[in-house]
Amino acid sequence: MSGNSSRSPQPSPCCAGSPFGRRWILGGLAALGAAALAGPGRATENRSDEIRFGLTPVFLNSDLELLTRLKAYLTASVGRPVELVMRRTYQEITALLLSGYLDAAWICGYPFIQYQDRLSLVAVPVWRGQPLYQSYLIVGRESPISGVSDLRGDIHAFSDPDSNSGFLVTQALLADDGETPSTYFRKTFFTYSHRDVVRAVASGLAESGSVDGYVWEVMSEIEPDLTSKTRVVRKSEWLGFPPIACAKAVRGKPTTERIAQALLTMSDDAAGRQVLDILRLDGFTPGDDALFRGIAQKYDQVRRLG
Amino acid sequence: MTRLLRRIGGWPVAVKVPLVVAILMVAISVVFSNQILVRLSQTQQRHLEQLASAYLDGMSSSLVPYVLRDDIWEIFDQLDRSRERYAGLSAVYTIVAGLDGTILAASDPHRFPSQAQVPRTLTDRFMAAGDLALAEDEGLAFVRRTLSYQDRSVGAIYAEIDIHALLAERRQVLLTLIATNAALTLVFAGFGYLAVRRMVRPIDILAAHLERGRGGRIEPVPLTGIGSKHSEFGRLFRRYNALVRALSERETLAARLAEEEKMGSLGRLASGMAHEINNPLGGMFNAIDTMERHSDDPLVRHSSLQILKRGLVGIRDVVRATLFTYKASGETTRLRARDLDDLRVLIQPEVGRRRLALEWRNELPDELALAAGPVRQAVLNLLLNACAASPVGGQVNMEAAVDNGTLVIEVADQGPGIPPEAANILNAADVDPSPPKHGTGLGAWMVNRLISELGGAVQATQLPAGGTLIRLTVSAKQNVGLRHVA
């Protein structure tokens, strides 16, 4: 398995192709300064009452407008300054969340399951009426592949080793047949962004890819030129939508509760609805650990195979 | 080729000079255009090398970490994003390969999939050309850069660059050069044509005068409108006018000499004529005396009247022949057989005086399409000369006939032979327009001139048995000299 998670920090590649253009967003991100991009080393400079909210590339976090509006909404709704903290990999955000550096973070269902004993649900996004999403297996539009069995020997693009839809689902699918990605595919690599999985498959670099179904569907609205170069060959069963989680230790604390409240009432607020519109989400629901049972099963399945 | 050069040689100077200017301009423009294009090509190649070098350097430094980690996504991502950064390079594709020539990632994965080998057709292009190979006929350039890490080669970047824009620029420059040079050449050739035409206008004037002079009288060129009198053409025209004047003077002199020669012949004839008239006069006076003394004798009267009549007829013939020969010029008549017979009468005194035997064979038809005057004048001259040259008691022959439409008159004598100078003058194909300077051969010159004016020829030959034969030949089909015949 190629790729690794200990890469040097760099701008998120998922910025490219957003409705605002990559350069503009990179510039905007720089302008956001410490508020949105502060690293752990600069955390000590933050005001003591500031809330740190982590974001992963699980959703379309590249949109400057989204970041601005989300930050403004949370700040107004929680009543305290909010810092949006972004990292390139799931692992980094998860580590910051577990370490207590972050008050809450939007993570994936897979790390939530992995660290279920140390994490609690804050809220779960509702997409198309339910807090569920799917993982897609995609191939190039012109590819002759018609089913999963045709994918053997491909160069396959994964999103992130800690992503449910971008890795675990396919890993579990192969585990059913006693295969692993490294035995089933000719070569695999991680793009650390769902959008880049679509780019990799659309360009022909990868012959197939595992991608977040929610991201692919939203992208097909925003960037139809890109997604039209790909074709979905398999959709997984419905699984728990990537949740907003907090360290178990802070669950019930006023800050956490205020964050949860802000998220759950987002659809009631005009500014909140603008954020949801950008995200193409309906709102947030308190959720239940049972939502992630399917992911937990896949995790066990893969672990059993070793 | 030779014919072409000869034909071009006949073109006017006003065309040839601008043509030479145009050819020189084209030659110069070809040399300069070539220089410019070579320099442009070198500059373009240098810029291409610099741009490609900047591209490959930039890519190398960012790609090496990913090549070391075999991270094909990041390699692709870098290549994909570099399209915008290096838009000025027009890279068709870029390939990043590992040490073993396996493609890690390419900007166009459909064409160059990962884990395939770099095509031999691409690597072969660098066999001889180093790291930059140009394929101008395809409009492409190929660049290569080895990826190094800690002085060790870890892979290579290959890029194909579209250089159609550079070639188009070069073509544009070439077209601009051709258009500019063609325009300049045309302008210079046009100016050259006008300038040379203006410069050679005096030559045209001179040529026109010479052409007019060929058919008639040569006239001097007016000196107005040819610029300074000290200019080349000013001097040329003055010299030409001086020549015209000299020729006119010679013409006048020649005419006068001819007239004098005519009068000289007349003088010689006059004495003979006086003798010819005087001879019958004595007999006639005797007849008159006899008639006075024996007026009543009818026999004597009759014989005296016969003597008087014969004497008067002889005098009439001599007078008539003389009058006909020397009547005023301008009254041109056609040549008749009788015209030659008249000459026989005219030379009779000379024949008699030198006791010559005259062989006379005149076989001319009644009338010929030739002017009588010049022929009679020339033949009379030859006959008188023949009489003078022949020894006393010798023989002079005259034969005249028409052979195949050509009048042939031969006069032969038994003299010591014609002097070489006179023979040369007679035989000259182009008769000198001016008479001989030293007087000798004046008669020969006259004869040749008269016959030449009729389009005929004179030939003097030495007879083997001694003496000279002079033959005149004139085409009787031509109407030369009969322009004014009524």
Question: Is the pLDDT confidence value at A157 over 90?
Answer: yes
| Nearest residue of A to residue B72, measured between CA atoms | A189
Average pLDDT of the segment spanning B417-443:
75
Mutation target vs B (from A89, A156, A187, A205; most B CBs, 10 A cutoff): A205
Average of per-residue pLDDT across A236-241: 96
> According to DSSP H, which parts of chain A are helical?
22-32, 34-37, 64-78, 90-98, 109-114, 169-176, 181-184, 194-203, 213-222, 224-227, 254-264, 270-279, 293-305
Residues of A with CB under 8 A from a CB of B: 2-4, 13, 16, 155, 157, 186-187, 189-191, 196, 199-200, 203-205
Position B236 in a domain: no
Q: By C-alpha distance, which of B34, B155, B160, B156 is closest to B89?
A: B160
Q: Which of the listed ranges A11-25, B60-74, B121-135 does the model predict with the highest average pLDDT?
A: B60-74
Closest approach of B165 to chain A, Cα-based (Å): 26
Tell me if B73 and A3 make a contact (CB, 8 A cut-off): yes
pLDDT of B364 higher than 70 = yes
CB atoms within 10 A of CB B41: 16
* Max mean pLDDT range (A69-78, B327-336, B375-384): A69-78
B81 lies within 8 A of chain A by CB: yes
Closest Cβ–Cβ partner in A2, A199, A204 for B71: A2
Using an 8 Å CB-CB cutoff, list chain A residues near B113.
Answer: 155, 204
* Six-digit token string for B339: 């015209």
Q: Measured between beta carbons, which residues in chain B are less than 8 angstroms from residue A189?
A: 71-73
- Residue B375 maps to which CATH number? 3.30.565.10
- For B67-71, B282-286, B363-367, which range has the lowest pLDDT when averaged over its residues? B282-286
Domains of chain A: residue spans and CATH: 13-131+240-289 (3.40.190.10), 135-236 (3.40.190.10)
The number of folded domains in chain B is: 2
pLDDT digits (tens, 9 = 90+) for A191-207: 999 999 999 999 999 99
* Helix H or strand E segment including B212: helix B201-215
Range B114-140 average pLDDT:
83
Residue where a domain stops, chosen among B145, B171, B186: B186
Closest to A288 in 3D by CA, of A230, A243, A222: A243
Across the interface, whether the CB atoms of A203 and B109 are under 8 A apart is answered: yes
Residues of A in contact with B109 (CB under 8 A): 203-205
Checking if the pLDDT of B458 tops 80, the result is: yes
Residues forming a β-bridge with B96:
B105, B157
**Is the CB of B87 inside 8 Å of chain A's CB atoms?**
no
SS3 B411: strand
Of A3, A186, A203, the CB nearest to B71: A3
- The residue with greater pLDDT, A306 or A124, is A124
Chain A CB contacts of B71 under 8 Å are 2-3, 189
Nearest-CA neighbor of A219 among A25, A37, A62, A56?
A62
Q: Do A187 and B72 touch (CB under 8 A)?
A: yes
Spell out the residues 6+ positions from residue B272 whose beta carbon is closer than 8 angstroms to its own: B347, B348, B349, B350, B353
Q: Which of B109, B110, B114 has its CB closest to that of A187?
A: B114
The answer to whether B343 faces chain A, any CB pair under 8 Å, is: no
Q: In the prediction, which pLDDT does B440 show?
A: 65
pLDDT per residue over B216-247, tens digit each? 667 888 877 666 767 777 888 888 888 888 88
pLDDT(B54) > 90 = no
pLDDT at B34: 86
Does any CB of chain A come closer than 8 Å to the CB of residue B76?
Answer: yes
Task: Measure in Å the smallest separation between the Cα of A69 and chain B Cα atoms.
Answer: 28
Chain A / chain B CB contacts < 8 angstroms: 44
**What are the Cα distances from residue B282, in Å, to A8, A96, B194, B288, B311?**
162, 176, 85, 10, 9
Q: What pLDDT is stored for residue A95 in this prediction?
A: 94
Higher model confidence: residue B88 or residue A149? A149
Percentage of chain B lying above the pLDDT 90 cut? 14
- Hey, what amino acid is at B426? L
Question: What is the b/e burial string over A279-306, where b = at least 16 CB atoms within 10 angstroms of the residue's CB?
Answer: bbbbbbbebeeebbebbbebbeebeeee
* String of DSSP letters for B28-71: HHHHHHHHHHHHHHHHHHHHHHHHHHHHHHHHHHHHHHHHHHT-
Would the CB atoms of B77 and A13 count as touching at under 8 Å?
yes
CA distance B93 to B100: 20
Q: Which of B133, B165, B186 is a domain's end point? A: B186
User: Mutation test of the interface with chain B: which of A15, A192, A203, A230, choosing the one with the most B Cβ atoms within 10 A?
Assistant: A203
| pLDDT higher than threshold 60 for residue A1 | no
Residue among B125, B102, B127, B106 nearest B115 (CA): B102
The answer to whether residue A275 scores a pLDDT higher than 80 is yes
Residue A44: HSE in the Cβ half-sphere, 13 Å Cα cutoff: 1
Q: Please report, in angstroms and rounded to a whole number, the separation of the first and last CA atoms in chain B.
A: 54
Instruction: Grade residue B475 by pLDDT with cuts at 50, 70 and 90.
Output: confident
Would B377 be classed as within a structural domain?
Answer: yes
The whole domain housing B180 covers: 2-186
- How far does the CA of residue B40 sit from the closest CA of chain A (Å)? 36
Average pLDDT over residues A253-282: 94
pLDDT at residue B329 is higher than 70: no
Strand partners, B240: none
Structure tokens at B248: 């006119």
Boundary of a domain, candidates B153, B186, B219: B186
What six digits make up the tokens of B201? 């206008």
Residues of B in contact with A187 (CB under 8 A): 72, 114-115
Q: What is the pLDDT of residue A48?
A: 66
For B70, the closest chain A residue by CA position comes to: A2
Is residue B270 one of the residues assigned to a domain?
A: no
Report the distance separating Cα B61 and Cα B65, nearest Å: 8
Cα B336 to Cα B266, B293, B309: the distances in Å are: 22, 46, 27
Give B159's DSSP letter: E
Interface predicted TM-score (ipTM) over 0.85: no
CB A163 within 8 A of CB A90: yes
- Given a cut of 90, whether residue A299 has pLDDT beyond it is yes
Dump the DSSP string for B69-99. HT-HHHHHHHHHHHHHHTGGG-EEEEEEEET
Q: Give the pLDDT of residue B52.
A: 82
Per-residue CA distances from B264 to B258, B261, B372, B440, B453 (Å): 10, 5, 20, 14, 22
**Rounded distance, CA A67 to CA A36, Å?**
8
Instruction: Pick the more confident residue, B136 or A91.
Output: A91
Taking alpha carbons only, the member of B425, B423, B411 closest to residue B382 is B411
Give the Cα separation of A111 and A245 in Å (integer).
10
Question: Mind listing the pLDDT tens digit for each residue in B392-429?
Answer: 888 999 999 998 888 999 999 988 888 888 888 888 87
Which of A73-82, A146-155, B50-59, B67-76 has the weakest average pLDDT? B50-59
CB contact under 8 A, A196 and B73: yes
User: Is residue A219 scored above 70 in pLDDT?
Assistant: yes
Place of tokens 């050739």: B189
Higher pLDDT, A284 or B419: A284
B271-290 pLDDT per residue, tens:
667 766 777 787 788 888 88
- Position B396 scores a pLDDT of 92
pLDDT surpasses 70 at A220 = yes
pLDDT band at A31 (very low <50, low <70, confident <90, very high): very low
Query: For position A184, what pLDDT does the model report?
Result: 95
Residue B202 pLDDT exceeds 90: no
* 3-state DSSP assignment of residue B415: coil
Share of chain B above pLDDT 70, in %: 89
Q: Give yes or no for B193 touching A (CB within 8 A).
A: no
- The answer to whether B374 touches B351, Cβ cutoff 8 Å, is no
**pLDDT beyond 60 at B439:** no
User: What percent of chain A lies above the pLDDT cut of 90?
Assistant: 71
Task: Return the pLDDT at B67.
Answer: 93
Contacts of A197 in chain B (CB under 8 A): none
> Cβ neighbours of residue A45 under 8 Å, at least 6 residues apart?
A34, A38
State which amino acid sits at residue A57: P
Assigned domain for B467 exists: yes
Residue written as token pair 């322009």: B483
Residue B232, pLDDT score: 78
Q: Is residue B194 part of a domain?
A: no
Beta bridge partners of B412: B397, B469
Whether the CB-CB separation of A230 and A197 falls below 8 Å is answered with: no
Distance between B178 CA and the closest CA of chain A, angstroms: 45
Report residue A13's pLDDT band, with 50, 70 and 90 as the boundaries: very low
Q: What is the mean pLDDT of residues B461-470?
A: 88
With a CB cutoff of 8 Å and minimum separation 6, the contacts of B168 are none
**Chain A nearest C-alpha distance from B122 (Å):** 20
CB contact B70 to A (< 8 Å): yes
C-alpha–C-alpha distance, residues B300 and B287, integer Å = 9
* Within-domain flag for B444: yes
CA dist B450 to A34, A103, B337, B433, B469, Å?
128, 141, 19, 11, 18
* C-alpha torsion B107→B113→B117→B121, nearest 10: -60
Q: Decide: helix, strand or coil at residue B478.
A: coil
Question: Looking at the domain assignment, is residue B209 inside a domain?
Answer: no
Q: What is the DSSP letter of A288?
A: -
Does B53 or A101 have the greater pLDDT score?
A101
Give the residue on A whose Cα is nearest the Cα of B105.
A205
Residue B127 lies in a domain: yes
CATH number at residue B99: 3.30.450.20
**Which B residues 112-151 touch A at CB under 8 Å?**
113-115
Asked if residue B162 lies in contact with residue B140, where contact means CB atoms within 8 angstroms, the answer is yes
